[in-house]
Structure 1
Amino acid sequence: MNYTENYKGVKIDVQAVNLDISEAVQAEIRASIDKLSRFTNNINALDVYFKNDGQGNNVTRVVSMRVGVPGPDVFAEERGEHWVTMLKAVTDKNIRQLQKGKD
């Protein structure tokens, strides 16, 4: 499932290879933009990638997020079991990178 939307002037591009993304996960992506916007008001785009890594019983879920801002973009990745939990973790990682960039 791939989809693109515009949320509060930010272009969201979601790519999920052979996966369906629930409304709850889509809502969490929007909440991530709200949270990131508290640390920078220059977000141009948000790219989120969902994938299952591995085969059989050794499948690991992976979420990657790239925040498009002026200058170098920030990027984070998280592995785990629950999409929403991993989205919150990559959002927090990206916030830390944005804060370091201000220093």
Structure 2
Amino acid sequence: MNYTENYRGVKIDVQSVNLDISEVVQKEIRTSIDKLSKFTQDINAVDVYFKTEGTGGTAVSIVGMRVGIPGPDVFAEEKGQNWVPLLKDVVEKLIRQLKKGK
């Protein structure tokens, strides 16, 4: 499931391989953008990647997020089990990068 939306002037591009992204996860993506916007007002685009590696009990979920800002983009990725906590961890990593860049 891939989809694109415009949220508060930020182009969101979500890519997921053979996965459906629930409304809860979509809402968390929007919340994440709100959090990131507190640290920089210049976000042009956000690319979010969801994928699963492995099968059965050994499957690992991976979330990556690229934030398009003037200058070099920031990117973070996290591996784990549940999408929403992974998104929150990725946002924390991105916030640290944005703080360093100021």
- Whether 2:57 is the aligned partner of 1:61: answer no
Calculate the TM-score normalised by the size of structure 2: 0.97
- Whether 2:98 is the aligned partner of 1:98: answer yes
- Residue in 2 aligned with 1:52? 52
Letter in 1 for 2:17: V
Identity percentage over the alignment?
71
- Residue in 2 aligned with 1:42? 42
Unaligned runs of 5+ in 1: none
Residue by residue over 1:20-61, the C-alpha shift from the partner in whole angstroms, topping out at 9 and shown as x without a partner, is: 000000000000000000000000000000000123432100
Figure out how many residues of one structure are paired with residues of the other and give that number: 102
Structure 2 Cα separation of the partners of residues 99 and 63 of structure 1: 21
Secondary structure in 2 aligned to 1:43?
coil
Structure 2 Cα separation of the partners of residues 25 and 17 of structure 1: 15
- Whether 2:86 is the aligned partner of 1:86: answer yes
Unaligned runs of 5+ in 2: none
